[in-house]
Structure 1
Amino acid sequence: MAGSARVVWLLLALNTAAAMEGDSCVTPHQRMGSCVQLDTCRPLMMLLEGPRPLDPRAVDFLRRSQCGFVSRMPLVCCAQPTTPSTTTPGQTAPLTDPLVDVTGDVKLRLLPLDICSPPAQNRIIGGNKTALFEYPWMALLAYDTWRGIQFRCGGTVINKRYILTAAHCITNLPPSQKLVGVRLGEHDMSKELDCVDDLEGQICAPPYQNFTIEEVIPHPQFSKSKLQNDIGLIRLSRDADFSTDSVKPICLPIGEPQRETLEGKKLIITGWGATETGLASDVLLWTTVAVVPLDKCAAIYQRAVPISEAQICAGGAARDSCGGDSGGPLMYVGDVDGEVRRMQFGVVSFGPKRCGTAGQPGVYTRVGAYMDWILASMRP
């Protein structure tokens, strides 16, 4: 072991934990594990094999993982992975990498926590149509296709230059489909100007904002076949304009909200995608979906793909996200600097071919499991 890895090995040796090799232990993220030699623990070795220099957070996690010694060499507490081949019905694969609490991350300054997820305007349209200005972080991804420019995926604004979406929306695209732009501040695609009648008279939103793309950043471990790590970022070619009510960023889970399972709770999904009639909606829609236990979800999808702790399963009833909602948000409320605000906990990834199929939940990428990657991938 060379370079930065030797430094980490020496740091581990400074600790004084006293477990023996093979003993049970608890990881820094409160998961049961075994005390083993570092080179036999794949999740921690992946941290060492990452970009140089090693992230200080990775070094800190390794230090806190140290649990004992063998022949004067330090041992680490390793949560052993469960591979798809040995996963039985009801089991889920653990996180590929340890979940990193980003509370102290210096790059949090890139997230506008002071203005994210502003309160919803009380201008309700009715039914499952959203109100004007209600979800100002919604983004539409534009593709050049043989039918012309079409919007085929969604996303969310997380700061003036970055859109959070699904990796499958930005990489490994078919030859006939090229991602060419992003639209923000849209509500009703059938109208050039969105207006609603209010008690104060007619209220109109500013024109939507169109952007070209400077960079696409799919997660490096995205697997199209297994639909794992289905998360990505788009860097816009210029700053989004936050001076209007129609374009604002959404809050992301930081600290304790990163670990919330939300099991049994009803979360909100929004999008312009296909509805139960099979047609795309011109108007931004919303609905609620109940979170499904991961073990139940894993049993449902066991013949198709593995389900991991880096995912959330929700829905599987008459209301669900559908094709065209990919990359959009799964939302609930969370604490941001002592205030309760709407927060994005998931990114729409995949689900049954027929939307709203009973007993078949949609699968969402868990944003909290990727906050360290999101911040590391962003730049001013």
Structure 2
Amino acid sequence: MGKGDSAFIRKAISGSLLSMCCLVGAFSIHASEITPYVVGGTDVPVGEQNWMATIRVSELNDMPICGATVINENWILTAAHCVVMSSGSSIDAGSYFVLKPSRISISAGINDLTLTDIEHFYSVSHVVVHPDYTPFAFHDTSYESDGTKVTELVHTALDSDLALLRVNRVFSDITPVELANAPSADEIDARLSAQWQEHSRPNNIKVSGWGATNSEGTEQSNVLKETTLSFLPMYECYERLENGNDTPFIIDTPFNKTKVCTLPSELLEVGGSVGNDSCKGDSGGPLRALNSNNAWVQHGIVSGSPVGSPVCGSINRPTFYTRVGTYFDWIQSYMGTVPNDSIQEPNFIKDSRKQCLNGVDSISPNNCNLIEHEDNGGTSSWLSLLLLALITAFRRNANRVKC
């Protein structure tokens, strides 16, 4: 590469799982390879946490793929990677699209998924993805006049990993979860950070979900489960996830305020090396903490974690979550409203569409017609892609990363 030239290096994260792999001295993160679940959890009593919801795929017999929370009489909160899919390479921004409302549904107000009745199902009318969501890490590499290589971070993987879904009828007999606002989130971070001890981990933050219940991520639960984890201070999380990397991929600085991290608070077996955790199937679900008024509030959204072996429950590899308080004002701006557009895409998809080559009829990554077709494509092609993504997500080998 000549002096003054610029290259863009994309380290990927795509889909409904989060994975991290070492490849020739660098690692990539794939959102389509991310799925968290509750390992080492206990059943949530019937009637409690009725604000929990599941996102289902209409064309797969309403199969549940992600968790979510009811935050308003018409809105649920979830992870963006649950509704933003890739029809091709996870490092190609032009291959991503947002699932149409007609292709997903919501079930809410029940703990046992085998007991779901017609009253628990809700049709989706709007899918709103945070404009700054990015499924892959993005670095800008350039060269100084003397040939010195300069790599700058543009954004980390799974940035702003949150989305809002509006349903077409009011949630009945459901009390919305309380969200942590910005001041509350700051207070929670400071208090829980002060409690951290490596040798005596606190039980101070809770995660709920219907995800896998074993460390291999192969045994899904039909009953809502919960476990209490250890809040990991951001400076510790940064050290564990980014130490040794030339540029960050998940956490940009030790002072990051867009994500929250946890580690297992206990071992599942004496003498073992696997602890309680969130994992496959828990994506989009809530991480809750006590606020200054001693009330449980949603502090995070299950987003992802680097995995090796075990897939989930590692006592040293943190799981990370989208920090709700950072985005509280954005979330509140949609409450009580009906958006004009049924789908609101993140900026990286819009920007990719602007950059494609209008008028090109051949098959290429920059073919606008091809991109439009993939985004609005027929049921059979979309279903094949989704099936592939689901099979990949739930049969991920130990060298992948989970979200």
TM-score higher than 0.5 here? yes
Q: Indicate whether 1:180 and 2:104 are aligned.
A: yes
Cα contact 1:184–1:209 (8 A) shared by 2 = yes
Q: Indicate whether 1:251 and 2:251 are aligned.
A: no
Match of 1:349 in 2: 303
For structure 1, the 5+ residue unaligned runs are 1-125, 194-206
Aligned length in residues = 234
Q: Indicate whether 1:299 and 2:239 are aligned.
A: yes
1:212 aligned counterpart, secondary structure: strand
Partners of 1:351 and 1:155 lie apart in 2 by 18
Change (3 A) 1:161 1:174: farther
Partners of 2:240 and 2:182 lie apart in 1 by 30
Residues 249-279 of structure 1, C-alpha deviations (whole Å, 9 max, x = no match): 1111135313131323521111001111521
Partners of 1:140 and 1:236 lie apart in 2 by 13
Residues 270-308 of structure 1, C-alpha deviations (whole Å, 9 max, x = no match): 100111152110100110110112122112222472313
Cα contact 1:163–1:235 (8 A) shared by 2 = yes
The residue correspondences of 1:11-160 to structure 2 (distance < 5 A) are 128-144=42-58, 147-160=60-73
Partners of 1:174 and 1:377 lie apart in 2 by 29
Deviation at 1:190, TM superposition (A): 2.3
Higher relative contact order (CA 8 A, sep 6+): 2
Q: Pick the structure with more helix per residue.
A: 2
Aligned partner (choices 104, 115, 129) of residue 218 of structure 1: 129
- Alpha-carbon RMSD across the aligned residues, in angstroms, is 2.4
Q: Indicate whether 1:311 and 2:259 are aligned.
A: yes
Match of 1:72 in 2: none
TM superposition score normalised by structure 1: 0.57
Aligned partner (choices 147, 155, 161) of residue 230 of structure 1: 161
Deviation at 1:361, TM superposition (A): 1.3
Deviation at 1:180, TM superposition (A): 1.1
Partners of 2:158 and 2:182 lie apart in 1 by 26
Cα contact 1:331–1:344 (8 A) shared by 2 = yes
Runs of 4+ in structure 1 off by over 6 angstroms are: 175-178
Partners of 2:250 and 2:116 lie apart in 1 by 43
Aligned partner (choices 142, 161, 171) of residue 240 of structure 1: 171
Partners of 1:364 and 1:191 lie apart in 2 by 29
Change (3 A) 1:171 1:181: same
Partners of 2:50 and 2:58 lie apart in 1 by 25
Partners of 2:116 and 2:335 lie apart in 1 by 32
Partners of 1:142 and 1:157 lie apart in 2 by 15
Aligned partner (choices 192, 195, 209) of residue 271 of structure 1: 209
Cα contact 1:129–1:284 (8 A) shared by 2 = yes
Cα contact 2:183–2:325 (8 A) shared by 1 = no
Larger-Rg structure: 1
Aligned partner (choices 309, 318, 321) of residue 361 of structure 1: 318
Cα contact 1:129–1:286 (8 A) shared by 2 = yes
Deviation at 1:323, TM superposition (A): 1.2
Partners of 2:41 and 2:285 lie apart in 1 by 20
Partners of 2:287 and 2:52 lie apart in 1 by 12
